[in-house]
């Protein structure tokens, strides 16, 4: 692909908009950065969706994806999910959810909680074959954990400039210690197998320091640019970099 | 604690890319290299002896709203009862530009491949030159499959599996078109149509205008759409 060395004017890109709030909801930090690290799993997902399956044609095998346990598996060729009666006729072969419900609710139903928008403390640069967050915070209320609330997603729209949809999740540090968020990931739960796949991951620089009981609202915007619009404006009082949009807690 | 300065983040019009502060210097303009899902088009015209007459790479410019709807559909699937969201089953169906697509219609995927001589889906070519709009549903003037005036023979439209380089992962959608019309044909627009098997509908997900490329009689046009993600 190195021969495609040109500026590209059309793409589907992403942004993370994050807001750190006090327990009573007061904003103490806002930031925005590119969410630009879609990993190989994402492309395998696109491949499998566009290839699909057909009852009469023998299609070539899909590429394997790597789930969050490190297992190399094929998307869309599921075995029945553990703990369920299995899929019935008509269940989707191609489907993932990134819209995770509240961690507590998922636990109540005995479902995995480590999917959707997740945060972690790892800061290694993302590489194309990343398959999990480096050091994710699991769901919980003690030190080393985060309380993941439910997610909200908007339907795709054309807003005049972009074709886009947004997904949002609030994450609370319920522990009595300050915890640092250095990475954000988007993990899809496969509908039938309940395998989980990291589709994108980004390192937040500088890290977000979450005081005890503070809330972090993360919105990931997936937006398609239809025209050469990859010029944007930023009014910046500081040094003209992302770092200057931060405030001091 | 009160922040040092007050910021506003405009999430609407500029999808979060515009950040402004209440105090500061004049607006600075940044040209950045955004990452994400990118699109390239490789074009090749060959004569009847397979000699390459013209070859070029163009930027793909136009992921349509339908593409985002497809992404949305496959990333928001749920219908097991235990996937309820606040007591309401989410995403049982989603409007797919006028068609209500229940999740089960993702069973067979969104076929971007197509057998030869099938011009309903896969990569398609046309002669239209009207500017792309986000909700385009078809090429402006698609060239039909066949032999005869104004037609081209559509060969198999297939998908090359995911490959990776040090920083990229990509797939290639490719198709060849043979001109047996008896005259030259100038291709000005390209697109990708997927067959939504569950609803038996065809949806245009990508459309691009290209610099016109002329395909003489008995010549072949090879088209590759390369979809890339970069870290």
Confidence of residue A21 (pLDDT cuts 50, 70, 90): very high
Asked if pLDDT for residue A170 goes beyond 60, the answer is yes
Burial class, B31, CB count within 10 angstroms (exposed 0-12 / middle 13-18 / buried 19+): exposed
Of A44-58, A67-81, A212-226, B116-130, minimum mean pLDDT range:
A67-81
Nearest to A189 by CA among A181, A204, A177, A199: A199
Sign of CA dihedral B94, B96, B100, B106: negative
Q: Taking CB atoms and an 8 Å limit, are A34 and B85 in contact across chains? A: no
B11 band by pLDDT with thresholds 50, 70 and 90: very low
What average pLDDT does range A71-95 have in this prediction?
53
pLDDT at B217: 97
Name the nearest CA neighbour of B161 among A99, A164, A54, A47. Answer: A47
- Mutation target for A interface from B99, B109, B123, B209: give the one with most A CBs within 10 A: B109
For the cut 60, the answer to whether the pLDDT of residue B47 exceeds it is yes
**Tell me, what's the pLDDT at B197?**
72
B131 touches chain A (CB under 8 A): no
CB-CB contact of B197 with A159 (8 Å): no
Percentage above 70 pLDDT, chain A: 75
Phi, psi of B67 (to 5 degrees): -65, -45
Residues of chain A with Cβ-Cβ distance to B26 below 8 Å are 235
- A91-136 tens-digit pLDDT: 445 678 898 889 998 888 888 899 999 999 999 999 999 999 999 9
Radius of gyration of chain B (CA): 22
Whether A9 and B83 lie within 8 Å, measured CB to CB:
no
pLDDT of residue B119: 97
Cα B99 to Cα B70, B105, B201, B203: the distances in Å are 12, 11, 9, 10
Is the CB of B63 less than 8 angstroms away from the CB of A10? yes
Residue of chain B whose alpha carbon sits nearest to that of A41: B169
CB of B154 less than 8 A from some CB of A: no
Residue showing tokens 């553990």: A82
pTM score, two decimals?
0.79
Residues of B with CB below 8 A from A247's CB? 3-5, 7
DSSP code per residue over B161-216:
EEEE-SSEEEEEEEEEEE--SSS-EEEEEEEEEEEETTTTEEEEEEEEEEEEEEE-
Beta strands A116-120 and A179-190 are antiparallel
Q: Of B21, B68, B105, which is closest to A237 when you measure between CB atoms?
A: B21
Domain boundaries, chain A: 40-51+62-74+94-154+170-217
**Could you report the per-residue pLDDT of A186-239, keeping only the tens digit for each?**
999 887 678 899 999 999 989 999 999 999 999 998 887 664 333 332 222 233
Please answer yes or no on whether A92 and B17 come within 8 Å at the CB atom: no
Chain A residue numbers touching B103 (CB-CB < 8 A): 92, 95, 191
List of chain A residues whose C-beta atoms are within 8 Å of the C-beta of residue B17: 15, 32, 232, 234
What would the pLDDT profile of B77-133 be if each residue is shown by its tens digit?
A: 654 333 333 333 333 344 333 344 444 445 567 889 999 999 999 999 999 999 888
The pair of three-digit structure tokens given for residue A109, joined into one six-digit string: 């139903």
* ipTM at complex level: 0.79
Q: Is pLDDT at B150 greater than 70 in this prediction?
A: yes
Nearest to A237 among B24, B67, B72 (CB): B24
Cross-chain Cβ contact B1/A248 below 8 Å: yes
Compute the mean pLDDT over every residue in chain A, rounded to the nearest whole number.
Answer: 78
pLDDT band at A62 (very low <50, low <70, confident <90, very high): confident
Give tens-digit pLDDT for B60-92. 878 888 888 888 877 876 543 333 333 333 333
Which of A230 and B228 is assigned the larger pLDDT?
B228
CB contact under 8 A, A38 and B109: no
Residue with tokens 């609030």: A170
End-to-end CA distance of chain A: 43
User: Of A7, A11, A162, which has the smallest distance from its Cβ to B39's Cβ?
Assistant: A11
Residue A2 pLDDT: 37
Tell me what the mean pLDDT of segment A78-95 comes to.
43
A·B CB contacts under 8 A? 336
Residue of A237, A240, A249 to mutate, interface with B, max B Cβ within 10 Å: A237
Query: Which of the residue ranges A185-189, A218-222, B29-33, B160-164 would you say has the lowest mean pLDDT?
Result: B29-33
């Amino acid at each position: 692909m190195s021969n495609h060395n040109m500026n590209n004017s059309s793409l589907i890109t992403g942004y993370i908009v994050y807001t750190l709030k006090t327990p009573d909801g007061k904003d103490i930090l806002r930031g925005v950065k590119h969410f630009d690290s879609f990993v190989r799993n994402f492309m395998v997902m696109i491949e499998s969706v566009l290839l699909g399956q057909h009852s009469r044609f023998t299609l070539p095998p899909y590429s394997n994806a790597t789930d969050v346990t490190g297992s190399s598996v094929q998307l869309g060729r599921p075995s029945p999910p553990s703990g369920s009666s299995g899929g019935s006729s008509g269940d989707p072969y191609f489907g993932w959810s990134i819209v995770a419900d509240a961690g507590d609710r998922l636990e109540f139903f005995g479902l995995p909680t480590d999917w959707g928008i997740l945060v972690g403390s790892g800061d290694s640069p993302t590489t194309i074959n990343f398959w999990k967050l480096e050091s994710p915070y699991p769901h919980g209320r003690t030190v080393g954990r985060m309380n993941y609330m439910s997610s909200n997603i908007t339907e795709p729209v054309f807003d005049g400039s972009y074709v886009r949809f947004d997904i949002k999740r609030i994450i609370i540090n319920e522990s009595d210690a300050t915890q640092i968020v250095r990475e954000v990931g988007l993990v899809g739960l496969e509908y039938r197998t309940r395998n989980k796949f990291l589709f994108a991951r980004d390192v937040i620089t500088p890290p977000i320091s979450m005081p005890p009981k503070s809330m972090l609202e993360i919105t990931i915007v997936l937006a398609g640019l239809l025209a050469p619009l990859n010029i944007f404006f930023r009014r910046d009082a500081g040094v003209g970099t992302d770092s200057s949009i931060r405030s001091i807690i | 604690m009160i922040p040092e300065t007050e910021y506003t983040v405009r999430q609407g019009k500029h999808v979060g890319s515009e950040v402004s502060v209440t105090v500061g210097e004049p607006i600075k303009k940044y040209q950045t290299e955004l990452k994400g899902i990118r699109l390239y088009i490789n074009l090749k015209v060959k004569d009847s002896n397979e000699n390459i007459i013209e070859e070029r790479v163009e930027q793909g410019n136009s992921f349509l709203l339908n593409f985002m709807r497809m992404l949305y559909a496959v990333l928001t699937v749920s219908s097991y009862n235990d996937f309820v969201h606040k007591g309401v089953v989410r995403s049982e169906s989603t409007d797919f530009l006028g068609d209500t697509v229940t999740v089960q219609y993702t069973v067979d995927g969104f076929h971007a491949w197509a057998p030869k001589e099938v011009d309903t889906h896969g990569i398609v070519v046309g002669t239209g030159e009207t500017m792309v709009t986000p909700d385009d549903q078809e090429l402006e003037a698609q060239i039909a499959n066949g032999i005869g005036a104004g037609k081209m023979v559509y060969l198999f439209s297939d998908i090359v599996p995911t490959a990776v380089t040090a920083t990229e992962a990509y797939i290639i959608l490719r198709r060849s078109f043979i001109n047996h019309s008896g005259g030259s044909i100038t291709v000005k627009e390209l697109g990708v149509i997927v067959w939504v098997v569950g609803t038996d509908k065809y949806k245009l997900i990508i459309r691009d205008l290209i610099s016109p490329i002329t395909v003489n009689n008995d010549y072949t046009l090879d088209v590759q759409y390369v979809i890339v993600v970069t870290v």
